Amino acid sequence: IDAAKAIALLATHEGDPLDYMEIIGAGRSFEHPGLPMIAVPTTAGTGSEVTRNAVLASPEHRLKASLRSPWMLPRIALVDPELTFGAPPDVTSRSGFDAMSQLVEPYLSARANPLTDGLCREGLPRAARSLPRLGSGIEDADARMDLSLAATLSGMALANAGLGIVHGLASALGSLLSAPHGSLCARLLAPGLRANLAALRERHPDHPALQRMSDLGQWFVGEARAEAAIDWIEALTEDLHIPRLSAYGLTAQAIPEAAQAATRASSTRANPIVLEEEEIGAILEMAI
């Protein structure tokens, strides 16, 4: 879907994609609409059908970055849960974790607002009750509906509130490792939350994101504690057999480069607190 969005807009503009890319390109603005485009997701995960950007990988720069424009929003999004029926459990798990992280991070984001709060509050319980069931191989039409809706809500939430360190790191690692984006998000989500929790308690003990982390625990396990939510996420990654990042080739030697790249990622800017490179490196160490 991201490729289709990029092609549709670039088809009506002159120049190279790098002319319009953020971070690694010139960052030029698109001046007029692209070709009409209809997005039909067949996994419940990215929410790309309702976002205004397209993530592209540049092997030359060893980085993933985005094209952004209001004109990149698909004209129509056809979200039909039946199109996800029969997706293998590992694909469902990876894409579902992407959706979950895209609801968690906007809810904790420095740019969270009443509109996105509503989207996240609706989507997170749906993701929490459907992902364990579908990821374990149980085919359930209601769960497919829940996860498809959660994914679309996550796209709307991230488009309007941003993300955080989990996606900042996932972006940095996406070009360094041959790893599915959803697997990166899954393995980084619990460590990222632990790092944010520790930093907020130490440097901003009255930050509203701390209460929001407790909300996650209430939705996930019925216990209003941040640690309960993090422990549940950690256990779910194990239950659904999400590989640790060392399985994709991440080594301790690569951590400094990845941590530094994450500080430059656009997603990191919305993290509820600015994390030091050492704190970001610790997230990667926990995910290895």
pLDDT for the residue 59: 81
Question: Closest Cα partner for 4 from 40, 58, 45?
Answer: 40
Q: Give the integer Cα–Cα distance in Å for 252 and 71.
A: 41
Burial classification of residue 48, based on how many CB atoms lie within 10 Å of its CB (0-12 exposed, 13-18 middle, 19 or more buried): buried
Average pLDDT by stretches of 10, the chain with 288 residues: 97 94 90 96 96 89 86 97 95 98 98 98 98 95 98 98 97 89 97 98 98 97 97 98 96 95 93 97 97
Residue with tokens 């592209």: 56
Instruction: State residue 147's pLDDT score.
Output: 98
Looking at the DSSP bridge assignments, the partners of residue 63 are 58
> Are 47 and 155 a contacting pair, CB within 8 Å?
yes
Task: Quote the CA–CA distance of 206 and 273 in Å, as a whole number.
Answer: 12
Q: How far apart are CA 55 and CA 246, in angstroms?
A: 24
- The distance from CA 196 to its chain's CA centroid, rounded to whole angstroms, is 16
Three-state secondary structure of the chain: CHHHHHHHHHCCCCCCHHHCCCCCCCCCCCCCCCCCCEECCCCCCCCHHHCCEEEEEECCCCEEEEEECHHHCCCEECCCHHHHCCCCHHHHHHHHHHHHHHHHHHHHCCCCCHHHHHHHHHHHHHHHHHHHHHHCCCCCHHHHHHHHHHHHHHHHHHHHHCCCHHHHHHHHHHCCCCCCHHHHHHHHHHHHHHHHHHHHHHHCCCCHHHHHHHHHHHHHHCCCCHHHHHHHHHHHHHHCCCCCHHHHCCCHHHHHHHHHHHHHCHHHHHCCCCCCHHHHHHHHHHHC
Identify whether the C-beta of residue 201 lies closer than 8 Å to the C-beta of residue 210: yes
CA distance 76 to 78: 6
Residues 6 or more apart whose Cβ sits within 8 Å of residue 205? none
pLDDT at 144: 98
What pLDDT is attached to residue 6?
Answer: 97
